[in-house]
Structure 1
Amino acid sequence: MSSPAARRACRAAGVMAGSIRQKYPARLPCAAFPAVPTMLLVDFTALPTDIVAAVRATAPLEVAGVVTGIICVWLAARSNIWNFPVAIVSCGLYLVIFLRNRLYSDAGLQLAFIALAVYGWWAWLRRQAAAPEATPGPHPEAPAPTTLPITRTSGRLWAALLSAGLVYALGAGYLFTRYTDAALPYYDSATTAVSLVAQYQLSRRKLENWALWIGVDVVYVGIYWHRGLALTSLLYAVYLGLAAYGGWEWLRESKTQKIGR
């Protein structure tokens, strides 16, 4: 039988020591759980009921944000330039949603996403405007690509992006911890940093952006479920699948061109 202190530690992590030891008497000691964030411990038996209740309680504004968000990622995975204006609309909706819920860090992230979407839209349009017309005649020249080519992130760019992301994650996490009542400040700051790096890579059509989106979306599913935004958590689960598809689609497309850096 476990001690009262051990039972309290298990309860703090959302796991009952008695039931865990009854199921796994020798393999899963309670000491393994105190460091596990509660947002990662989900009662999967209650998921269907929770999801239905969340959908029924969802405001129209959040539904619009979810729908436009899915459309945006799908268009990005298809290398469609319209992903940028749709992203601006979706981020604007979530800016209002997060402000109403006093999620100021996430609201600030939406402003950054809007700025990066505007930049990405401009970069793709500039490439399109620079494409020459096909030369008339029996042997016309092939027009240049109308979008940025898919390239890989160079080592120098990786170093710059990761350094900036690390500085932001640690600095913002510290400030949120010390001066605000933010929930999960270091998780929020780290996911914000990774999201900004991935969004910049997406704007420049760097192949590795999808790997970053996959990793950060896994964490976002847990964070938003923990905060009670069940439908948004479900949206990020969809994002996870779309990011995997986007990575596969871009990798397939990149094989038809000469990848540079």
Structure 2
Amino acid sequence: MIEYFFSQYKTYETIDIALEITGAIFGLISVWFAKKDNILVFPTGLISTSIYAYLLWQWELLGDSMINVYYFIMSIYGWYHWTRKKGNAVEFPIATMTNKEKMAAVFIFVLTIIFVSIVYLYFDKFTNWYSYIDTFLTGLFFVGMWLMAKRKIENWIFWIIGDIISIPLYFAKGYTFTSFQFLIFTIIAIYGYLEWKKILNKSEILEIQK
């Protein structure tokens, strides 16, 4: 069983294995803080995304690497966005998407797929089946991270769909630790959605009672 899951690591540098494990751990911690609506989601996420951006570029997984560079940038934006206050209250609490944001999400998704497709074509990376799935996943995760930074509850839906697809995908690519990470991501994301839903419902009730 161990040989089946981890045989690919025989040819890996020890530093790369250590970095992948570290990135996976900080990624899990970050998602856990996101579930708790805790701003520490962003600093822990910055560590994970910077590690994965490097590793994925080394592994020539350009789409995945671009996702993590984008995560890094959006984590900085989200960190700032979540700290903004109006008086003593958080200026941007958990909320649902507006119609304008739904249109923006579609635009980001389509634009991302077009951009990644151009990059993959330029570098001649459409050489296997998972390159096409990478393109689709990049669009999903770009929208999910954008919604996370804006504290929109729908971000969890994009994460859940993307995480479920990523589990077998990363295992097929030979990155077992990352595949396991996405399995745990999926579970945490489901609970994250439920927890944010409770917080949102509670705030809506308090708003009605005012």
TM-score bracket relative to the smaller structure: 0.7 to 0.9
Distance 2:3 2:194 in 1: 33
Secondary structure of the structure 2 residue equivalent to 1:68: helix
Report the TM-score when normalising by structure 2: 0.85
Tell whether the 8 Å contact from 1:105 to 1:188 is kept in structure 2 after alignment. Answer: yes
Q: Which residue among 73, 79, 88 is the counterpart of 1:115?
A: 73
Q: Which residue among 141, 155, 158 is the counterpart of 1:209?
A: 155
Distance 2:82 2:111 in 1: 29
Q: 1:54 to 1:252 in 2, by over 3 A?
A: farther
Q: Which residue of 1 aligns with 2:96?
A: 152
Tell whether the 8 Å contact from 2:29 to 2:41 is kept in structure 1 after alignment. Answer: yes
Q: Which has the higher contact order (CA 8 A, sep 6+)?
A: 2
Q: Which residue among 139, 151, 166 is the counterpart of 1:193?
A: 139
Secondary structure of the structure 2 residue equivalent to 1:199: helix
In our comparison, the structure showing a higher alpha carbon Rg is: 1
Secondary structure of the structure 2 residue equivalent to 1:150: coil
Q: Which residue among 170, 176, 183 is the counterpart of 1:224?
A: 170
Distance 2:65 2:3 in 1: 29
Between 1:173-182 and 1:236-245, the stretch displaced more is 173-182
Q: 1:61 to 1:251 in 2, by over 3 A?
A: same
Q: Which residue of 2 aligns with 1:106?
A: 64
Q: Which residue of 1 aligns with 2:124?
A: 180
Secondary structure of the structure 1 residue equivalent to 2:204: coil
Between 1:177-186 and 1:85-94, the stretch displaced more is 177-186
Question: How big is each residue's C-alpha offset from its partner over 1:68-91, in whole Å with a ceiling of 9 and x where there is no partner?
Answer: 000000000001111101100110
1:117: how far off? 0.3
1:189: how far off? 1.4
User: What letter is aligned with 1:65?
Assistant: G
Question: How big is each residue's C-alpha offset from its partner over 1:103-155, in whole Å with a ceiling of 9 and x where there is no partner?
Answer: 1221111111001000000111222xx433xxxxxxxxxxx2x4631111122
1:186: how far off? 2.5
User: What letter is aligned with 1:131?
Assistant: G
Between 1:101-110 and 1:235-244, the stretch displaced more is 101-110
In percent, how many aligned pairs have the same letter?
24
Q: Which residue among 27, 31, 38 is the counterpart of 1:69?
A: 27
Alignment of 1:1-261 (within 5 A): 49-51=3-5, 53=7, 59-127=17-85, 130-132=86-88, 144=89, 146=90, 148-173=92-117, 175-177=119-121, 179-182=123-126, 183=128, 184-258=130-204
Give the superposed CA RMSD.
Answer: 2.3
User: What letter is aligned with 1:76?
Assistant: A
1:200: how far off? 0.8
Tell whether the 8 Å contact from 1:173 to 1:188 is kept in structure 2 after alignment. Answer: no
Q: Which residue of 2 aligns with 1:4?
A: none
How many correspondences in the alignment? 200
Tell whether the 8 Å contact from 1:96 to 1:107 is kept in structure 2 after alignment. Answer: yes
Segments ≥4 residues shifted beyond 2 Å:
48-58, 170-175, 181-186
Distance 1:194 1:256 in 2: 28
Report the TM-score when normalising by structure 1: 0.70
Tell whether the 8 Å contact from 2:62 to 2:120 is kept in structure 1 after alignment. Answer: no
Question: How big is each residue's C-alpha offset from its partner over 1:189-246, in whole Å with a ceiling of 9 and x where there is no partner?
Answer: 1111110111111111111111111101111112211111111111111100010010
